[in-house]
A and B are shown apart, each in its own frame.
Chain A
Amino acid sequence: MIEQQQSLWSFITEQADKLLAQTLQHLGLTFISLLLAIAIGLPLGILIARRGKLAGSVLGVAGVLQTIPSIALLGFMIPLLGIGAKPAIVALLIYALLPIIRNTYTGIVGIDRHIIEAANALGMSKTQILFRVELPLAMSVILAGIRTATVINVGVATLASFIAAGGLGEFIFGGISLNNSNMILAGAIPAALLAVILDFLLSRVQKLDFRKLRKVLYLIPLLILLLGGFYLLPATYGSKLKAGFTPEFMGRQDGDLGLKSVYGLEIPTTVISDAVMYKAAYEGELDVISGYSTDGRLKAFGLTILKDDKGIFPPYYAAPIVRQASLDKFSGLEDVLNLLAGKINDSLMTDLNYRTDYLKQTPERVAKDFLIREGLYKSPRNGHAGIVRIGSKIFGEQYILAEMYRMLIKGNTEYDVSTKTGLGGTKICFDALMNDQIDFYPEYTGTGLLVLLQPDPRVAKEIAHDRNRTYSYVKTTFQKKYQIRWLKPIGFNNTYALMMRKKQSEALNVSTITALKKYIDRN
């Protein structure tokens, strides 16, 4: 624990610049959107308090907007506003709207009607009543709404990093995909602190009596503007090309770090989620992205892979990994699973992924079509000699492979099959295998080496560039350490890759990473 804390501290001091920048971006995002939400929500709340008939529908719409899952909302924004700050601010604004409108409305409507009547009877005009009576009396309720909105925004702003808008989410989500808890904490702790501190400060403001509040209220917009001003968009690009990398890629030696140290590639980079990155590249928001070499979207969006001519991306050849105990129990299983060995190359896998990810065909259909084409398909025998349990991670390629294995087992053996698909990430899948909850799942050599075995970095560096050495290393080590067998590789290499739009790559004559570096240096 102490060691953990120390290394967290050293991580933070090392990354202090980045952390500060992210925190300021985070505050900026939160407060710009909050300011806009107040500018829209407050008048809207006043309006519906005046015209009760509108209240139901306005609050209803704001309520529905609030229930859209944040990731989905960010997703919706991309076709409308692209990536970066704009869609993030709009999404945050939408989340902040409901508490502000609702509290303004209830705050005003909740005022004792005799007080409003008195104001009328004394000869105040509508505007005077609003500013001298209604708003001051509703203020603590309105502030409570703003407080809620602020806390929501600090939380949701972590997701802004998915669409290249920065903020503390860069560390949090980078850390999650890298399984680096220091990185997660370096993002999560400041984010939580921001929420707690802002909540506390606003609760103090809320408790001030009206007199002092009047003064503070003039300060708040200024303060919000100032904090919003921290969010200076990274507009100072030197080169014409823009890169977008996933948080995971940013932190990996076989990712951005390697690109910098081995290739010396310096390119303006934004952090963005895998889910929107390909589309952003397709639409020209980004020029260079990090992706997976067999991703179906490669094909869908007309992208091409830049050759890794200095070999920084380790091989990720897929192969089923099976419990030795299961192989002993289900005789003939190994042969059946090896039926796929060497059958699917990169472009074939990309095509299969394209069918599920983009054409929305079911993994089952894609698997069956493929097996029939290859002459491997046999009708199920519907045997009951035992149940083989197949696992898969939670993405399309793994679903397809799991389906193929299911059909092969049912067609070639007397065994029955149960599938446990969508088992989160590597760790969950592997734990299920170790705990005898599944018998096998498809794994990748690079993952087996770098994520599951995590050998001494020097060892890893030496063998990680060679596909055969990597395979034999994981095979022998898994057998020894876990009694788990790596069967023969299926053929494709689902590795990291840098990609560009095919047209741009041809126009610039950039087909390798070295060529990309040279192009950038020239311009």
Chain B
Amino acid sequence: MITLADISKNFGSTRAVNEISFTVREGETLILLGTSGCGKTTTLKMINRLIEPDSGTISINGQAISREKPEFLRRRIGYVMQNIGLFPHYTVAENIAVVPKLLKWNKEKTRERILELIEKLRLPNDCMNLFPHQLSGGQQQRVGLARALVADPAILLMDEPFGALDNVTRSGIQSEFKALEELKRKTIVMVTHDVQEAFELADRICLMDCGKIVQIGAPKDLLYKPASEFARKFLDSQRLALEFKVVTIKDIWEFLPVNILRGKVNALSATTDVWSAMEILSSTLNDKVQLFSDPETQQTKVINFQELSGAFHSYKQTRSHD
């Protein structure tokens, strides 16, 4: 658990971070979202003491981090940089092995761990002895992630980790990232200015503006309960797409018609979001019909694309009357 209490940081006359406080729960993914220059990176870097706050305290599991030697603190916090920052004079293996070396692991243990990560992160097997400049941008980013994960830190800080990638590569890595078992146990603080990415990956989003927190909460809250005009406007341009992503089958369950089951079809969980369901329906050859079941009530419904989109609109209508 990470706690920031009344943290401020000035650079000369620029107030980069202005009295912010928040808590990141164990195993949670918190995403710092906001326009360029609003203090996201500064906030992130204060957590591993790359930047020292002017006032306020940061603690991890109740221990103030200012008590610990910065080097030791950083060795137990994974950090993925926007610019990747791989060492050009080290091979991939050596880059990943930096922290194990600092922690004085033996060679065998280090090697096994590197091989494990290379496989998990789907890096080519023969890349161990290549230098960073011999890899593609996406591969470099994976090596950066492997380097941060190698000592299995409980906390992972990520500064726009996918910022430098093209859209296709980015959504590929994003979904792999989401699926990565190793990350599910970790407390993650991630910075982005990409709203889609934030909604895709966050448990909670911390929306910032001019060094202050505008709103902190679950993606759905940001969408339907904006705390201010700024928060509402910030999401406006992508609202529809975000809603498709945030709303699940379960949310619109009551608006879906009940149909008779004919033949055998695949069942999807009701926690699937509307966006994914539409993607499946529009790509399937299976008579544009799929079956959904609600694990709690054990109900199943068979629907087609039109019925899905109709239910979504009815749901929206009732939300906006709330």
Contact = CB atoms under 8 A, between A and B. Distances in A.
Interface string B44-60: 00001010000000000
Interface stretch (A122-130, A261-269, A288-296): A122-130
Interface stretch (B25-33, B79-87, B167-175, B209-217): B79-87
Given A117-B50, A136-B89, A137-B88, A122 B81 contact: no
A123 B89 contact: no
Interface in A94-135: 112, 114-115, 117-125, 128, 133
A210 interface: yes
A128 B102 contact: yes
B179 to A, nearest CB: 26
A112 B81 CA distance: 13
Interface stretch (B70-78, B235-243, B259-267): B70-78
A121 B50 CA distance: 7
Contacts of B147: 122
Nearest to A119: B87
Given A122-B98, A123-B74, A115 B87 contact: yes
B88 A121 contact: no
B311 interface: no
A118 B99 contact: no
A136 B89 CA distance: 8
B81 A121 contact: yes
A114 B45 CA distance: 13
Contacts of B81: 114, 117-118, 121
A213 to B, nearest CB: 9
A115 B81 CA distance: 10
A123 B71 contact: yes
B89 A210 contact: yes
A125 B50 contact: no
Nearest to B85: A118
Specify which of A112, A119, A122 lies most central, judged by the most chain B CB atoms within 10 Å of its CB. Answer: A122
Contacts of A137: 88-89
Contacts of B70: 123
Contacts of B98: 122, 124
A108 to B, nearest CB: 14
Interface string B259-286: 0000000000000000000000000000
Contacts of A133: 87
Interface in B62-120: 70-75, 79, 81, 83-89, 98-99, 102
Contact of A122 (B83, B84, B99): B99
A117 B85 contact: yes
Nearest to A128: B102
A215 to B, nearest CB: 14
A120 B51 CA distance: 11
B85 A115 contact: yes
Contact of A125 (B48, B71, B79, B86): B71
B36 to A, nearest CB: 17
B122 to A, nearest CB: 22
B104 to A, nearest CB: 12
Nearest to B98: A122
Interface string A121-156: 111110010000100110000000000000000000
A241 B73 CA distance: 70
Contacts of B72: 123
Contacts of A122: 74-75, 79, 98-99, 102, 147
Interface string A365-402: 00000000000000000000000000000000000000
A120 B74 contact: yes
B102 A118 contact: no
B86 A123 contact: no
B87 A121 contact: no
Nearest to A209: B89
Given A120-B50, A121-B74, A123-B71, A114 B102 contact: no
B121 to A, nearest CB: 18
Interface of B: 48, 50, 70-75, 79, 81, 83-89, 98-99, 102, 147
22 contacts: A114-B84, A115-B87, A117-B50, A117-B85, A118-B81, A118-B84, A118-B87, A119-B87, A120-B50, A120-B74, A121-B48, A121-B50, A121-B81, A123-B72, A123-B99, A124-B71, A124-B98, A128-B102, A133-B87, A136-B89, A137-B89, A210-B89
Query: Shortest 7 CB-CB distances between A and B: which pairs?
Result: A118-B85, A123-B75, A123-B74, A121-B79, A114-B83, A114-B85, A210-B89
Given A115-B86, A123-B71, 5 more contacts: A121-B79, A121-B85, A124-B71, A128-B102, A133-B87
